[in-house]
Structure formats: C-alpha cells, structure tokens
Structure 1
Amino acid sequence: MTSTLEAIHVSNSALPVIDISGLSSSSLTNRQAVAERLRAACIDNGFFYIVSHGVPAALMDDVFAETKRFFDFSAEVKSAVDKSRSFCQRGFEPMRAQTLEEGAPPDLKESFYIGPELSLDDPRVVARRFNHGPNLWPPDMPTFRPVMDAYFSTLLDLSRKLMRGLALALRVDEEYFADYCTNAHATLRLLHYPPQPANAAPGEKGAGAHSDFGGITLLLQDEAGGLQVQGKSANEWIHATPIVGAFVVNLGDMIARWTNDRFRSTVHRVVNSSGRERYSVPFFFSGNPEQKVECLPSCLASGERPKYPPTTVEGHLKEMYRRTYK
C-alpha cells in the first residue's frame, strides 16, 4: 500500500526554473519576458525555482552555518530566547509548537523567528502593532546577527524586485505594488526538522499541509529535500527537489486573494524522509501592514464578483495566526 506521505519524483520542469536576471535589465522587453514566465508559473500552481537572483552563495552558506549552530545548542540555551519572551513573535519556537494542518498532530520541527529590527520607542512598537518590535538574539553567537541582518536586507530587495515582476505578470503597471513594498513587514524563519520517525503518529510530519499566509515566500533549502507540493489533485504530491543555489518561490494566500485566485497559493508540506537532519530558511514577505488588499479589477472576468471581502495586510495576517496558534 502506498503511504499517504509519499510523493512522486518528477523532472524539474514540473516546477519551472526561471532565470530572473532579466528583471534587472534596463529593457522593458527583457523584464516582460521574465514576467511572462512568472505569469505561467503563478497561474499553474504558484511554485517555481528562481536562479540568477543575485544573492551571494557565500551569504547563503553563512545563513545555513549559523542556523545549524543555533539548533545544535541545548534546550536550556535556546530557551533563553524563547518566543514566549517576545511580544512580537520573535525568537525560538520548540518542537511541536505549531499545527499547520487541521486535524493532524503538531508539526515535527523547531524554529527561530526574525523580523525587522525595531526599537522599543518606535511609534509602531509603542502602539503594539501586530508583530512589530525588537528581535531576540541568541547569546554567545557573535556572527549570528550580522549574517541574519545582511541576509534579511538582501531578501527584502529581492522580494521587491519579484513584486515588480509579478505586477508585469498581472499586466498592471510595474510599480503597482510600490506602496505594498514600502515599510514592508517580513519574517525570516530558521527551521530544523529531525528525520521522520519510524513510529510516527498517524499524520505526523515535519510540517502539515498548508498554504502560506502572506505575499511571497523565498525558500532556501538544504540538500535533504522533503518539501512536497500538492499537484492537480488533493492526493498527488510532488517533490520540490533541491537545486543548489536556487530559491523555491511560492505565492501566499494574500496574492491569491488579491487576484481572485487567478494566481495560486498552493498547499504544500514537509516530510523529512532523508534519514538525517533537515534545515531550511523561508523568508516570508508580507508587505506594508496598512496596505489594503482587494481584488484587482483586471483579475475579474465579465460578470464575476470578488471571492473575498477587502482587508488589510495586518488584518489578513492576524486571522492566519489565529488559525495555527489556537
């Protein structure tokens, strides 16, 4: 009998590999050529790889090195920066603290949350805006913060570039998402998955089946694999095989909402059947918390009505967190 946690191995063409260097071109024609490839991927299943993205390989290696070093610490050391000590969802989250798939056991992973660094006297922090505040930084790791700060800044720039590409892909002005990308909120999450246990509880896995909350996700994954993307049917799962130097990019629920589901936010999960530790680093780009999110008129067919009521980025994210952190 086939395990419900198995996935099919397919060629990388099932998840397109897109060279995005053209998005930095001074030629609109070159930028539009990349945008058309993005459009096809976003309509198909909202998952794709990007290469020629400009993020230095050395920086990516440093991020993994610091991530592994942190999770190798004892539980006592990690608890010093536990997320319970933060009022803005920052810091360490222990194993099985989140349940992404309703009805399934808690996720078999531990993580560390990093967001934009804001001082306690920042007006947004004083007002206790959702997820705004200072980070918790682990002690005795002098290179951890510089590496993560550099990576966070680099991924913010890359996210803005991709949003300009998505605007062209939606056939709207290239700067349509400029306000959304101003004062943008994002979350860098370091993840450690132990090997899938042989005696796992029914339905237990590294990360339960879910779609991402926000705008776009840029995933840096190691060579262990384990990311599975739902195919055309609910029972079909496809391996997102790691490609060295590439990011896996997927759309979140907010983009699906903005486009009346024309651009897809696809369900995915993690099953670490590699037999070894797995590390991955997703960067969740959520955008300006005050940005209004409502259906793009260009995404409505004649006579079609929006599927979702208008909201804001902050309102949408609050609802998503309520669902997974009951």
Structure 2
Amino acid sequence: MNQAIDHSAVPIIDIQGLRSIDLADRMAVAMKLRKACEYSGFFYITNHGIAPELISQILDETISFFDQSEAKKMEVSKSNSKCHRGYEPLRAQTLEAGTPPDLKESFYLGIDLPDDHPSVRAGKFNHGPNQWPTGLPGFQKTTTEYFNALYELGSVMMRGLALSLNLPENHFENFLDGAAANLRLLHYPPQPAISQPDEKGCGAHTDFGALTFLLQDDAGGLQVQPANTREWIDAPPIENTYVVNIGDLIERWTNGQYKSTLHRVINRSGRERHSVPFFFTGNYDTLVECIPTCLEDGEEPQHKAITVEQHLMDCYKRTYG
C-alpha cells in the first residue's frame, strides 16, 4: 500500500538554528531531530546552507555524465578502481535480496586520496583516488565543490544529533576527524511498462552509514516505510530541501532508538530520473558501540561493537555479492 507524503512521518525541519551561536537555538532544532529520528528516521531539511547555484550545477553535471555513450562512461568503470570509485552500469547492484538487480546506473566519488597516502598504503577499505571523466570540463570542479559543501553540512548535523541525544555537542568529534564520505550520482531510466516481478529502480534497503543527504530532481519515485506504519509513503521532491535519513550506524549507536528506515525508488514518472545522494560515513577507525544513555536499566545492547570500516565491508559484501 502506498500513500502520499505524511509530514508526521517525514517532517520538514528548519536547521538554520544549528549554526546559531546561541545554544538554545541549536537545542530547539536538536529536539525536532530527535522526534524525527525516533519516529521514522527520515525528514526534510530547509535552510541547509547549500547554494542554489551549486545544487543546479551538480544536477546539470549529473545529467551530462549519464548522457554520454556507454563506451565513454565505461572509460571510468568502477571495475578499474580498488576503492569503489567510478561508473557502475545498470543492474550492477541488488539492494533488496531476492529481487532483480536495481534498474539504475551510478557514479561514485569520495575523498580523493593519492596512492601514497598513509590510509591508502595501509589498505583502508574504500580509501583511494577518484576517477575523473574526460570531455566534461566542469565535472571535477563542481563535484568537488559540492562534496566539500555537503561534508561540512554532515559535520553540523552530527553535532546536532549529539545534542538530540543529550550528549555533549562534541561527542562525535573523533568520528568526524578524518571522516569518510561518498557522493553518488544516479540515473534511473523510466520503469518499463512490462518489467520483471519486483523490479525496481532501487530495491528496499536501509543505508549503511551515519547520515544520507538526498538531492532529487522533480521526477519523484522515492518511498519510505516508517517502522511504526509498515506502509510505503511517498517522499516527493520539495524545492530547496534535502531528504535526510539516518543510516545503520546511528541505529546501532542508539540501540535502535533512532531508526534506520527502509526506502526504495520506483521511477513511474515516464521519464529519466536523476538524484545525488551524499553518504556521510565517518572515521573508519571509530568503534561503534551502544551509547550508554540509550540503554535502559537492565537492557542489553542489540548489536556488538564494530568499527565503521568492518561495518561498511560487511554491507558492501551483502549487496554486491
């Protein structure tokens, strides 16, 4: 069952107060984040600070990249990379077990580290250089500028989450120091009129990391399933907002108090759909174990302690086989 957006489940939160010098302003936003994270783990944010011009540019570069020929895109194939960077063709990933591969193609970017960087030489998972397509003169500049802007926003939001959990604002500073993140450009062709059973643009899944910031075009297709409803709710694009959701790391940290929620994409618009999710993952050496304030007396953690790196490796193995 699907229903139109329910703003009690996917609220709109003005986060401008998180940048205020007044703690009361930051706490006011944090309490709204807490309610959203406990209820569904999904929310829209406004006054996020990302320039509209940059948002327009990143969508233009996304469209330009996927409009290239398959041969041109394959010049920067992810198969050339040791750190999952580059182009991934249609049906390369299966996010929902037991269903056909996802009807989407993508391009992965991360922090651009040279081969002689200590983390790369140490073999850190997903650490290394980006691949850059040729023939798109503004691509590297725009994606790098956009990545850096979202990276800063991720840090602001993590400090807001700390406040929302009644923790010191700097509680996650070690997690933020040298944090990893990924930018993924996505293209979804229209859903075929006659498709395989259960075929979707993106199968039902939860996100691996800490926070996801999703920029959508106007095609729609995103649906979320809050745990308390078990119904699929449309989360359509709203101008000048991001859809933000909590990932599995935050759910583990909070012992399930904050929800990492199932979501999927079915592009029924009849036209091409483009989106740009930014995944804020954190420092790979961070040990994620239940925050003591998220445990009731006599309650046991639901998950064992795990490093961010091991958690990510397990998640990639599950969805790429």
Fold shared by both chains (TM-score > 0.5): yes
Corresponding residue to 1:29 among 16, 19, 24: 24
The offset of 1:213, in angstroms, is 0.3
Relative to the length of structure 1, the TM-score reads 0.97
Instruction: Find the counterpart in structure 2 of residue 3 from structure 1.
Output: none
Corresponding residue to 2:56 among 50, 53, 61: 61
Q: Give, in whole Å, the separation in 2 of the partners of 1:302 and 1:196.
A: 49
Report sequence identity in percent. 55
Match of 1:229, SS state, is strand
Does residue 160 (structure 1) correspond to residue 155 (structure 2)? The answer is: yes
Instruction: Find the counterpart in structure 2 of residue 309 from structure 1.
Output: 304
Q: Is the 8 A contact 2:212 2:279 kept in 1?
A: yes
Match of 2:173, SS state, is coil
Match of 2:309, SS state, is helix
The offset of 1:142, in angstroms, is 1.2
Corresponding residue to 2:43 among 40, 44, 48: 48
Q: Give, in whole Å, the separation in 1 of the partners of 2:283 and 2:109.
A: 17
Give the counterpart letter for 2:61 in structure 1. Answer: E
- 1:74-127 Cα distance to aligned partner (Å, 9 max, x none): 000000000000000000000000000000000000000000000111011112
The offset of 1:143, in angstroms, is 0.4
Consecutive unaligned residues of structure 2, counting only runs of 5 or more, are: none
Aligned residues: 321
Instruction: Find the counterpart in structure 2 of residue 236 from structure 1.
Output: 231
Corresponding residue to 2:285 among 286, 290, 294: 290
- 1:226-271 Cα distance to aligned partner (Å, 9 max, x none): 0000134675100001101100000000000000010000000000
Instruction: Find the counterpart in structure 2 of residue 139 from structure 1.
Output: 134
CA RMSD across the alignment: 1.0
Q: Choose 10-19 or 298-307, whichever is displaced more.
A: 10-19
Does residue 118 (structure 1) correspond to residue 118 (structure 2)? The answer is: no
Match of 2:31, SS state, is helix
Q: Give, in whole Å, the separation in 2 of the partners of 1:229 and 1:53.
A: 22
Q: Is the 8 A contact 2:9 2:226 kept in 1?
A: no
Corresponding residue to 1:180 among 168, 175, 196: 175
Structure 1 segment 81-100 matched on structure 2, within 5 A? 81-100=76-95
The offset of 1:128, in angstroms, is 1.8
Q: Give, in whole Å, the separation in 1 of the partners of 2:82 and 2:296.
A: 43
Corresponding residue to 2:165 among 154, 163, 170: 170
Q: Choose 92-101 or 119-128, whichever is displaced more.
A: 119-128
Give the counterpart letter for 1:14 in structure 2. Answer: A
Q: Is the 8 A contact 2:180 2:283 kept in 1?
A: yes
Q: Give, in whole Å, the separation in 2 of the partners of 1:56 and 1:13.
A: 28
Q: Choose 6-15 or 31-40, whichever is displaced more.
A: 6-15
Q: Give, in whole Å, the separation in 2 of the partners of 1:204 and 1:233.
A: 25
Relative to the length of structure 2, the TM-score reads 0.98
Q: Give, in whole Å, the separation in 2 of the partners of 1:231 and 1:251.
A: 12
- 1:175-225 Cα distance to aligned partner (Å, 9 max, x none): 001110110100000000001111110000000000000000000001101
Does residue 277 (structure 1) correspond to residue 272 (structure 2)? The answer is: yes
